[in-house]
A and B are shown apart, each in its own frame.
Chain A
């Protein structure tokens, strides 16, 4: 039980770090689009800082979230539960969104203002995903 509680605490801490980084990266893309065509040096510095944060903090937090989450699910024997499968699907989608945002930030950092318009909704989509995960995890409906 003690091990499970440690895993849970660290999983929540890692997930919070990952999701906060994901929201900021999503907002950075929106901000860059708002500055499209302008000589936005400050905005470029802001994007560069976010990219470094993403590489050093958000990405490791994502892998820690996955590792600790899988360890927790194995220990609790949840892999046969439908709610966990749905949660894994949402986490997979958030991971893919993170990868797309990270690649797009690299592109934007080098002066390109064009990117997939769907990424403008990355921040609200992340919040929606995390709300769904919280409901699934707390209520475990099925």
Chain B
């Protein structure tokens, strides 16, 4: 691995990545626990027609930001593997958010 970008910029990037993780996780929660019941119990298919693509775009943003974050910083390889795997499992974004928060706290205290 090579040297990372400046600490201030890495902190900014981690904040962006955490925000995107939360957005991705929330859109998935909304899709599964709000839109899907509305469709199947209420008969309104429009709920998933709207929330499906919204979550799809949030997921795309999440994966893109994850790639950008690990490409520009000095992440240990196991962390990169864990974050990429978590990106593809339901609610993995929340796990990554916690890991990123710990890394952010370490950077601030350094």
Q: Residues on A close to B: CB < 8 A?
A: 62-63, 66-67, 70-71, 74, 95-96, 98-107, 109-110, 112, 114-116
Contact = CB atoms under 8 A, between A and B. Distances in A.
A95 B64 contact: yes
A103 B61 contact: no
Given A63-B57, A70-B56, A100-B71, A106 B9 contact: yes
A101 B60 CA distance: 16
Contacts of B70: 103
> Do most interface residues of chain A lie in helix, strand or loop, or is the interface mixed?
helix
Nearest to A103: B71
Interface of B: 2-6, 9, 13, 53, 56-57, 60-61, 63-73
Contacts of A112: 2-5
Contacts of A67: 53, 57
A99 B65 contact: yes
Given A63-B57, A103-B71, A104-B71, A98 B64 contact: yes
A52 to B, nearest CB: 13
Nearest to B7: A110
Identify the interface centre among A63, A74, A103, A104: most chain B CB within 10 Å of its CB: A103
Contact of B6 (A66, A70, A103, A110): A110
